[in-house]
Amino acid sequence: MENPLDVILKRFDQQDRQISTLTSMVARLQGEKETAAKPMNAAEAADFLHMKKNALYQKIGQIPHRKINKRLLFFRSELLAYIEKNAVHSHTEA
Residue spans of beta strands (DSSP E) within the chain: 66-68, 71-73
Answer for the pair 23, 12: CB distance below 8 angstroms, yes or no. Answer: no
What's the N-to-C CA distance of the chain in angstroms?
54
Residue 93: predicted pLDDT = 54
Per-residue model confidence (pLDDT) at position 22: 83
Mean pLDDT of successive 10-residue stretches along the chain, which has 94 residues: 87 88 81 76 95 96 94 93 83 59
Rounded to two decimals, what is the model's pTM? Answer: 0.59
